[in-house]
Structure 1
Amino acid sequence: MLRAGSRRTHGTRPTHERGPAAEALRLVKVSKTYGTGDGAVTALDGVTFGLGRGTFTAVMGPSGSGKTTLLHCAAGLDRPDSGIVCVDGTELTGGGEAELTRFRRGRIGFVFQQYNLLETLTVAQNTVLPLKLAGQRVDRGRAKEVLASVGLGDRLGHRPGQLSGGQRQRVAIARALVTEPRVIFADEPTGALDTRSAREVLLLLQRAVRAHGRTVVMVTHDPVAASYADSVLFLADGRLAGRMDAPTADAVAERLAHLGDTVTTGV
């Protein structure tokens, strides 16, 4: 079953005590391999790091470095072959699929590049869908507040086909926020957007962190998008290859150009 962690971090309470965990996300020696024999590909190789609550972290690396696999394992969408994944103090590895699904619906939000909206539902209906799937009471007033906060208060009855790409992604962010998750995982959320829409989406993710205390983990290939984060984790060949705090677009681009020169075992 899913287990509350009891590891003590310096200066914090054990994570099994009442209240949110000091760390929003912790991976310990997480590995994942696809395929067998000569065709086996190691996507993650002993990755270890921790992220504090209320932080915005970008994950970057070349194609095939393991970024999406890392995101999927961290979010409980895929299971690592070995290692430990803890979200908000609860260990995800080892639990049953039904229990894991309930946990994701309650404490994790998702934003994807392709929006994943249902075309037959309105903006408001798409936003509250996670609550319905989880069997929770739908507070339509709360949903309207969230949609207003992302600039869609006048689009409640519209369907996705009537929205721009940037507006669709804002619906996806509202959908991720409505359950009040501890952690939001975003996979290339600006990849299909123009520059202006991308900036709006990144500012909304920043606001989720700074105004509402959410933790955001974002996979991106774009140094400009990464510059909106508090820190950047770099991956190369399935292993951590460094971390940068207070990133700028130029500094991130420079680091990416030399990625793989140094590979670390943990951050």
Structure 2
Amino acid sequence: MTAAAHLDSLYRTYDDIGTAVTALDGVTATFPAGTFTAVMGPSGSGKSTLLQCAAGLDRPTSGRVFIDGAELTATKDTAMTKFRRRRVGFVFQDYNLLPALTVEQNVLLPLRLDGRRADRARSTEILTRLGLGERLHDLPEQLSGGQRQRVAIARALVTEPAVIFADEPTGALDLRSAREVLTLLRAVVHEHGRTVVMVTHDPVAAAYADSVLFLADGRLAGSLSAPTAEAVAERLAHLGDRVGAA
């Protein structure tokens, strides 16, 4: 199976007032094309750092990141920005929509920033598919939280990226909206062939994924296929014991 993203021995350290803090400690992982993977772990386990390094929003201290077979980490910062715009989609917890732009303008923004033609027909098609076909000219403040996150997903899809990274995409949503967004992400994978890697702290959210990757102290701490919320919660509860035994 083709890899949409591959992380090769990623290390990420930070200087915290003269003390080196290791956020990622030699993580190697592969995310096959057309799959939905959840990344989980205790607070401070490195899951958000992993997502940011994988998406090109942060550079690893060492190690390599490949997106759709091309090495993201081999490029300079300006080239990395262009690479990310074309090959990577990102969905944030707080949507990151520009309040002065309409729904349609927000979705088209990545194409405009990349100097590409604003494909309004494609953006309308995606927004219609996501149930927002009649909200093209609304501003974000006129939408519910779940609708804003759907706009963010549409913005991530419009560039036809190799992989979409989502950082706690349901963290700011009520239960019903969260379910709608998770169902949508699963449909993006299983009906439209996209690849999604999602960081979450919620076992129920993780159960929407095809598999779960666990992190602890910046290291891989196991995985789980065909997850259920109960199995994920149990694995998280025993994660510390297992890492200690290793």
Please give the TM-score of this superposition, normalised by the length of structure 1. Answer: 0.89
> For residue 57 of structure 1, what is the amino acid of its counterpart?
T
| Corresponding residue number in structure 2 for 1:130 | 110
| Corresponding residue number in structure 1 for 2:46 | 66
| Corresponding residue number in structure 1 for 2:60 | 80
Paired residues, number: 244
Task: Provide the C-alpha distance between the structure 2 equivalents of 1:213 and 1:260, rounded to a whole number of angstroms.
Answer: 35
Are the equivalent residues in 2 in contact too, given 1:240–1:263 (CA < 8 A)? no
- Find the residue that maps to 1:26 and give its secondary structure: strand
Pairwise CA distance, 1:202: 0.6
When the two chains are superposed, the root-mean-square deviation of aligned CA atoms in Å is 1.3
| Corresponding residue number in structure 1 for 2:85 | 105
Pairwise CA distance, 1:38: 5.8
| Corresponding residue number in structure 2 for 1:215 | 195
- Find the residue that maps to 2:137 and give its secondary structure: coil
Q: Deviations over 1:170-219 (max 9, x none)?
A: 00001001111110000000000001100110111111111111110000
Structure 2: 5+ residue stretches without partners: none
> For residue 244 of structure 1, what is the amino acid of its counterpart?
L
User: For 2:183, which of 199, 203, 217 is the aligned residue?
Assistant: 203
User: For 2:126, which of 117, 132, 146 is the aligned residue?
Assistant: 146
User: For 1:170, which of 117, 138, 150 is the aligned residue?
Assistant: 150
- Find the residue that maps to 1:235 and give its secondary structure: strand
- Runs of 4+ aligned structure 1 residues displaced above 6 Å come to none
> For residue 186 of structure 2, what is the amino acid of its counterpart?
Q
| Corresponding residue number in structure 1 for 2:23 | 43
- Find the residue that maps to 2:241 and give its secondary structure: coil
| Corresponding residue number in structure 1 for 2:221 | 241
Pairwise CA distance, 1:36: 5.7
- Percent sequence identity is 70
Q: Deviations over 1:94-153 (max 9, x none)?
A: 311111111111111010000000100111111111010011111111111100111101
Task: Provide the C-alpha distance between the structure 1 equivalents of 2:208 and 2:191, rounded to a whole number of angstroms.
Answer: 15
User: For 1:89, which of 59, 66, 69 is the aligned residue?
Assistant: 69
Between Structure 1 and Structure 2, the one with more helix by share is 2
> For residue 183 of structure 2, what is the amino acid of its counterpart?
L
Are the equivalent residues in 2 in contact too, given 1:242–1:263 (CA < 8 A)? no
